[in-house]
A = this chain, B = another copy of it.
Amino acid sequence: MARSVTILGAGLVGSLLAVLLRKRGYEVTVYERRPDMRSNTIAAGKSINLAMSARGWKALDLAGLRKDIEDLAIPMHGRYLHQADGTSASQAYGKNNEAIYSVSRGELNKRLMTLAEQHGAKIYFDQRCVKVDVATNTLHFQSPDGKETVHQADLLFGADGAFSSLRVAYSQMDRTNFTQYYLEHGYKELSIPPDAAGKMQMEKNALHIWPRHNFMMIGLPNTDGTFTCTLFLPFEGETSFANLKTDAAVLAFFNKHFPDAVPLMPTLLEDFSANPTSSLVTIYIQPWHYGNKSALIGDAAHAIVPFYGQGMNAGFEDCTVLCALMDKYGDDWDTILKKYDEKRKPNGDAVAQLALNNFIEMRDKVADPKFLERKKIEKELGKKYPQQFVSVYEMVSFTHTPYDTAMSCIAAQDALLQTIMNEGDFATNVEDAAFNTKLDSWMNEYHRSVQQLDFGNEA
């Protein structure tokens, strides 16, 4: 007999998981802390846009949802860099015009919720989980009127995000390792509306970045013609949110650092004062599961910073892996949850580190011509040596190679590219037969050094 499943959180991962479990015949009940966002306005200015990439699409395919979501998604084929000196530059993400996709978190979430309900999941809103007894799977909920209810879960998933109540309960168990790490940077959402004629004011199919070394702004396109911009800046210090307390200070800061953006942002000052300054947390926990009773999934297990655009993709891949394990082990949840933890924990750790690393890449390295040159060479290598070389960025965004493997390739790729760039201009060198002989041997050496890693698709 199939078990009934309780899911904490009707966010992206919780709703998708509900669909996937219903498709397998499980009875599914979801408890969501917030009111139903389909009939309420969600709190503004606190949700960075999503960048859906291969891992996200794969899980949507599993749920039969790709078509539903495609019309919400705007392909971004590369970075559009707004440099400090007023110049701009473009940098394609892939070698074959691959894209990551800008998607509205709210719209995606609403469609997933509706789909979960259409598949027969029951979602209870306004239910804050105030306590979980892990050993007995007893859940205590509080509604906005203060009423408490108790629910006995059979099989439980905590898909309740970075501040998961199931994770809090896990972290209080003996021998649970736990880390929460906040960046010194916060973020604030801002907006670029369409022009008077309703036209987008910047290149639509790109992720816009204003890299300024220790801080940056990014902009992602929306289907309504707006761009959602996000400023990432230290909370404290000379150039910081703490020093942007007046309209005059905000305006001076933007005029100095983002002069090309200011004319596109008519509501800059209103947005800046109305929208919160939010923090950026990374979460590590071990274990991710408890016997055959419960497991963490998505941000609840591995909240990460948003700089690789992998938060939702990683959570969706958790679902993909869980489905593959259900396919393999049927109703043997002892084994499924144990294997899920073993397989996903190293990848959760890896994507967290990748995301932290990529903040430095986005805000700092992309402003360096050498870095842009390296990215070009990587693409040439990928074309010239398709059997030997896939760049880490491409692995993460366009394949299903485990994050852990991508992490393990970084040092070898850094060394390889350094060797190549030490020889001088690549475009010139590559015309030369002697250089190509050396290049062949470097590529073989690189390939040998990483070929024992698991490049197999997740799940």
- Give the nearest-CB partner of A168 in chain B: B172
Segment at the interface with B among A5-13, A179-187, A442-450: A179-187
In the complex, the answer to whether A179 meets B176 with C-beta atoms within 8 Å is no
Binary flags per residue of A163-179, CB closer than 8 Å to B gives 1, else 0: 00000000100111111
**Residues in chain B near residue A176, CB distance under 8 A:** 180, 182
CA gap between A182 and B178 in the complex, in Å = 9
**Residues in chain B near residue A279, CB distance under 8 A:** 174-175
A227 beta carbon closer than 8 Å to chain B: no
CA gap between A304 and B174 in the complex, in Å = 15
> Main secondary structure on chain A at its contact with chain B?
strand
Binary flags per residue of A379-402, CB closer than 8 Å to B gives 1, else 0: 000000000000000000000000
Q: How far is the CB of A182 from chain B (nearest CB, A)?
A: 5
In the complex, the answer to whether B175 meets A178 with C-beta atoms within 8 Å is no
Q: How far is the CB of A361 from chain B (nearest CB, A)?
A: 23
In the complex, the answer to whether B182 meets A179 with C-beta atoms within 8 Å is no
CA gap between A178 and B174 in the complex, in Å = 16
CA gap between A431 and B435 in the complex, in Å = 58
Number of copies of chain A assembled together: 2
Within 8 A of B (CB), among A80-111: none
- Give the nearest-CB partner of A235 in chain B: B175
| Size of interface on A: residues with Cβ below 8 Å to B | 12
Q: How far is the CB of A123 from chain B (nearest CB, A)?
A: 27
CA gap between A279 and B179 in the complex, in Å = 18
In the complex, the answer to whether B171 meets A177 with C-beta atoms within 8 Å is no
Q: How far is the CB of A333 from chain B (nearest CB, A)?
A: 21
**Residues in chain B near residue A171, CB distance under 8 A:** 180
Q: How far is the CB of A325 from chain B (nearest CB, A)?
A: 23
**Residues in chain B near residue A177, CB distance under 8 A:** 180-182
- Give the nearest-CB partner of A180 in chain B: B178
**Residues in chain B near residue A179, CB distance under 8 A:** 178-181
- Give the nearest-CB partner of A186 in chain B: B175
Binary flags per residue of A144-180, CB closer than 8 Å to B gives 1, else 0: 0000000000000000000000000001001111111
CA gap between A179 and B171 in the complex, in Å = 10
Q: How far is the CB of A363 from chain B (nearest CB, A)?
A: 19
CA gap between A174 and B46 in the complex, in Å = 15
CA gap between A181 and B176 in the complex, in Å = 7
The answer, among B175, B181, B182, B235, for a CB contact under 8 Å with A182, is: B175
- Give the nearest-CB partner of A174 in chain B: B279
**Residues in chain B near residue A178, CB distance under 8 A:** 178-180
Among A171, A175, A235, the one with the most B-chain Cβ atoms within 10 Å of its Cβ is: A175
Q: How far is the CB of A401 from chain B (nearest CB, A)?
A: 29
CA gap between A279 and B172 in the complex, in Å = 13
CA gap between A85 and B37 in the complex, in Å = 70
- Give the nearest-CB partner of A284 in chain B: B179
Binary flags per residue of A409-453, CB closer than 8 Å to B gives 1, else 0: 000000000000000000000000000000000000000000000
CA gap between A174 and B162 in the complex, in Å = 12
CA gap between A176 and B235 in the complex, in Å = 13
Q: How far is the CB of A307 from chain B (nearest CB, A)?
A: 18
Q: How far is the CB of A183 from chain B (nearest CB, A)?
A: 9
Report 10 cross-chain contacts, Cβ distance below 8 Å, ordered by A residue: A174-B182, A175-B279, A176-B180, A176-B182, A177-B181, A178-B178, A178-B179, A179-B179, A179-B180, A179-B181
Instruction: Knowing that A175-B279, A177-B181, A177-B182 touch, tell me 5 more A-B residue pairs with CB under 8 angstroms.
Output: A174-B182, A174-B279, A178-B179, A179-B180, A179-B181
Closest 5 CB pairs between A and B? Answer: A179-B179, A175-B182, A178-B180, A175-B279, A174-B279
